[in-house]
Amino acid sequence: MAILADLCFTVPLLYCWCYWNRLPRRQIAVRAAALACLGVWVAGRLIPAADQTILPHLSLARTLGIVVLTLIELRVLVAVVRLTFSGTATVEEVSARSGAPPMIARLMLIEARFWRWIWTLLRRR
């Protein structure tokens, strides 16, 4: 029970406390929910099967949480891909919209430029 409480409540709360003034509230909430779902999964691996009395009851909540988080991440991914392939995006815009560090955002824009170049080569033939 202590492992479950630590992984599902304490770790997400410490994450929220640490990043409260640095990140947008929505981003903190999504990441804290992801940490809680990860905590249920890790607890399932750490606690022996004979002692898992609460975990089977949390499996549905964990599955629903993962589905919701996947849909949110998919929405963010589509928005970032659209932004990077628009051709007018800057590193700062991609970094702000995706939450990626500026170096990763720069690499994303370089990759988008590469694929647009490949697409123009293919369309000419």
Domain boundaries, the chain: 1-67
Which residues neighbour 91 within 8 Å (Cβ) at sequence distance 6 or greater?
Answer: 102, 105, 106, 109
Band (pLDDT 50/70/90 cuts) for residue 3 is: confident
What average pLDDT score do residues 42-67 get? 82
pLDDT at residue 40 in the model: 84
Distances from the Cα of 103 to the Cα of 5, 107, 115, angstroms: 36, 6, 19
What average pLDDT score do residues 86-106 get? 87
d(CA 20, CA 14): 10
What average pLDDT score do residues 14-28 get? 89
What average pLDDT score do residues 52-65 get? 80
Global pTM value: 0.63
- Between vectors from CA 25 to CA 20 and to CA 29, what angle results, nearest 5°? 95
